[in-house]
Amino acid sequence: QVQLQESGPGLMKPSETLSLTCTVSGGSISSSYWSWIRQPPGKGLEWIGYISDTGSTNSNPSLKSRVTISGDTSKNQFSLKLRSVTAADTAFYYCAREDYDYSGGYFQHWGQGTLVTVSS
């Protein structure tokens, strides 16, 4: 059974760089695609980006200029960096594994989420 666990600071100041790590157990990050998804409190979901099994990355056009996603196969972890945060980046941040069938991908395995608050 795949399990994902997010970790990182809960409180940040504007203009800082948000850094989160997702630790994966029960599966290898060298297989499948691994995504970051966020949700501002009381609002909807937004896909941030993914890192693939080969280490390639892709991110939401609205965040692309500020996002870096990387992986560490030795620790079976993948990470998110979001630069120059503002209050609008306050959200629950989830990591998730993307599974596939013949027709497309879907997120069946999610972490529990971690709340990041940006405030001066």
Partner 1 sequence: QSVLTQPPSASGTPGQRVTISCSGSSSNIGSNTVNWYQQLPGTAPKLLIYSNNQRPSGVPDRFSGSKSGTSASLAISGLQSEDEADYYCTAWDDSLNGYYVFGTGTKVTVL
Chain contacts with partner 1 (rule: CB under 8 A): 35, 44-47, 49, 58-62, 94, 101, 103-108, 110-113
Q: CB 12 → partner 1: shortest distance, Å? A: 22
The rounded distance, in Å, linking the Cα atoms of 120 and 109 is 34
* Radius of gyration for the chain, computed over Cα atoms and rounded to the nearest angstrom: 14
Reading the block at residue 55, the tokens are 């280490």
Tokens 């998804």 -> residue: 37
Q: CB 9 → partner 1: shortest distance, Å? A: 20
Measured from the CB atom, is 46 or 53 closer to partner 1? 46
Q: CB 3 → partner 1: shortest distance, Å? A: 12
